[in-house]
Structure 1
Amino acid sequence: MEADLTLLVNGQQHILRLDPETPLLYVLRNNLGLNGPKFGCGLQQCGACMVLLDHIAWPSCQLPVRQTTGGVAITTLEGLTRPDGTLHPVQAAFVQEQAAQCGFCLNGMIISAVSLLKQYPQPSEEAIRNGLFRVLCRCSVHTRAIRAVQRAAASG
């Protein structure tokens, strides 16, 4: 049964007529055209679908959209870039450290890193490893991703 739902995505309010049980990932990609979050495993285990919910990294592939209404601030990879095109410090650090190969895990890595740095501005290497733990990467860029998070933390 569809209902009018109000979502706050990347600072903009959207009123959409949806089935409240639709996974947030599908709404972001299919209704709002945001392709940063990816469909990976569909089981909330790979991290490709990560978004920020009030600054906390959360997998969106099984999350019913009804749980993200009522003023929850949803931020996708696209929402991190400033309106003038300037990259978020974490995005810039990932570019500088060349911390991507195929790019499929990149959304989850960056979203997780932003969330981590919001909670712990100067994390240890162990904290960074734990913060990125929920994101699977087959290209072996983990050491570069850790360096990117360290770089972003150092840039303030």
Structure 2
Amino acid sequence: MPKGEGKLIAQNKKARHDYTIIDTMEAGIVLQGTEIKSIRNGRINLKDGFARVRNGEVFLHNVHISPYEQGNIFNHDPVRTRKLLLHKKQISKLIGETKNTGITLVPLKVYLKNGYAKALIGLAKGKHQYDKREDLKRKDVDRQISRTLKNFSR
């Protein structure tokens, strides 16, 4: 997690299950109208989201931000493509990394930092089914060990 992270709004837990996260970076999100109000209310879903580099810019796709309830006819499209704000060096690094097959950009978290909506995006490589099963077994064993150590220390 980046240092000084603000209030966590949404988290994509499925991403860590489906992908091996290689690297993460923080990006600002370009929002329209009442989208920030919906995000502050926690009305955002990252489940099927992904990011793509196009024409030297990074865009966030399939992230659902529900329309603001007190909004008017000028509410936004919930699943529109949103631009991510990154430095040129970061974008060139992402271009180089995503040229490799099997590497994708996945939104991991959305949080508020100094009043601005930020997204933590991760360079991810897809896991195979047997990798997922292995991770679940490892988590289960770790849970058992911590449970027995906790009972043993009493």
Task: Work out whether the TM-score is over 0.5.
Answer: no
Higher relative contact order (Cα pairs below 8 Å, separated by 6+ residues): 2
TM normalised by structure 1 equals 0.26
Q: Which is higher, the Rg of structure 1 or of structure 2?
A: 2
> Which has the larger strand fraction?
2
TM normalised by structure 2 equals 0.26
> Which has the larger helix fraction?
1
